[in-house]
Amino acid sequence: MNVRIWRGAASLALALSALSVTTACRKPTEANDITASFSVNRQRAPLGSVVEVTYTWTTGPAFKKLDQDHRALVHFLDSHKMALFTDDHVPTPPPSTWEANKTYTYQRTVFIPLYPYVGQVQVAMGLYPPSGKGQRVGLKGEDVGLRAYKVATMELLPQVDNIFMVFKDGWHHPESSAQNPGLERTWTKKDALVAFKNPKKDVVIYLEADTNYKAFDVPPVLTLVVGNKSGVVIPIENSEVFVKKVRVKAADLGTDEFVDLRLAMNQSFVPKAKGVNSHDDRELGVMVYHLYVGEADQLGTVPQVVDAGPVTAPVAVASKDAPAKTTAPAKGGPAAKPSAGGGKSASK
């Protein structure tokens, strides 16, 4: 027994010695003259909610030009430095166009997924090759490991701090992305209804969605109607993911305990009838990735938000493909996804 212990200790000492030599011989990381920074419109946000992030990249006089459009690494880490979710993306403008002594700033909307974790998170940023293979770019700042640099902290609050929502008629079952099984999204029928608890205050509605533009007989139009009083009309021009932010005044929410929010399409389609998917005979309207309602005074500054105004639901356009009678709505509704954009449905 003593021999085994000694041999184990000797092996460990040898390994540590080799590691020490390797570390000593390793050249220090050569940092490019780039500093990444991160700011958010609210430092404390509930799980399942949304934040507006401002990303800034500052190049100094010793900046060395990048020959590729590197992607931005953005990881939100828990107390054990494990990634909870990410917002990896291509910076604006692309890094291959960056020059020395410049500052590049842009904003992105980040939806916070639902995780069994509350508390402080650390935000780390970096730059990596577009192929995902090869070395990350060395930056200026505190390296938390593998050339990811600490840029900020924020706090995640419990989901119960959000406005309570109930998904009612017109929703299909949530489905996962083939590219990312952790990503869930939900198709609506032509009309879908959700109710949210009335805060008696101004609210901002976030909708992230898309649809199969080419499957419609006429250009698709989505109308968001709040409490049958106000909303916005959203012409859909292609199959790309879009994000709409709508501010609704407290007076338009009424005095009832719950407020109805209707997502009304001017037409629906059936993938099987369109030859898009030979097995999918559902009536489909719009694919919802995120639907969130928050109190305006708790959201901080929200860019590109529009004010709701008087609207009427779109006149339905008869489609020869749509079923005459829809099936009973599925329970539940859209689930939070790890990152904006996500994958596409098999029906698209």
- Pick from 36-40, 222-226, 276-280, 309-313: least confident: 276-280
Give the tens place of pLDDT for each residue, 302-316: 999 999 999 976 655
Beta carbons within 8 Å of 285's beta carbon, 6+ residues apart? 170, 187, 188, 189, 190, 191, 192, 211, 222, 263, 265, 268
Domain limits, the chain: 34-159, 163-310
Cβ–Cβ < 8 Å for 177, 185: yes
CA–CA separation, 260 and 271 (whole Å): 29
Cβ–Cβ < 8 Å for 284, 265: no
Q: What is the pLDDT of the chain when averaged over all its residues?
A: 85
Write b or e for each residue in 90-100: b if 16 or more Cβ atoms lie within 10 A of its Cβ, otherwise e. Answer: ebeeebeebee
CATH class of the region 163-310: mainly beta
pTM of the model: 0.82
Where would I find the beta strands (DSSP E) of 139-180? 143-145, 148-157, 165-167, 175-176
CA–CA separation, 289 and 292 (whole Å): 10
- Pick from 18-22, 48-52, 151-155, 173-177: least confident: 18-22
Dihedral, CA of residue 330, residue 118, residue 115 and residue 206, to nearest 10: 60
Q: How many residues does the chain have?
A: 348
pLDDT at residue number 326: 39
Tell which residue, 290, 288, 335, 320, has the closest CA to residue 191.
Answer: 288
Q: If pLDDT is split at 50, 70 and 90, which confidence band does 95 have? A: very high
Give the tens place of pLDDT for each residue, 184-202: 899 999 999 999 999 999 9
Give the pLDDT mean for 74-84: 95
Please work out, in degrees rounded to the nearest 5, the angle formed at the alpha carbon of residue 343 by the alpha carbons of 123 and 345.
150
- Pick from 48-62, 87-101, 125-139, 170-184: least confident: 170-184
Give the pLDDT mean for 224-251: 95
What 8-state DSSP symbol labels residue 295? E
DSSP string over 33-53: SEEEEEEES-SEEETT-EEEE
Q: In this structure, how many other beta carbons lie within 10 angstroms of the beta carbon of residue 158?
A: 10
pLDDT at residue number 133: 83
CATH class of the region 34-159: mainly beta
336 phi and psi, to 5 degrees? -70, 145
Q: In this structure, how many other beta carbons lie within 10 angstroms of the beta carbon of residue 267?
A: 21
Give the pLDDT mean for 264-274: 93
Greater confidence, 11 or 187?
187
CA–CA separation, 244 and 60 (whole Å): 36
- Pick from 119-128, 140-149, 306-315, 318-327: least confident: 318-327
Strand 143-145 versus strand 148-157 pairing type = antiparallel
Give the pLDDT mean for 58-84: 96
pLDDT at residue number 16: 33
Cβ–Cβ < 8 Å for 89, 74: yes
Q: Residue 58: is its pLDDT beyond 60?
A: yes
pLDDT at residue number 115: 87
CA–CA separation, 28 and 211 (whole Å): 49
Q: Residue 42: is its pLDDT beyond 60?
A: yes
Cβ–Cβ < 8 Å for 164, 311: no
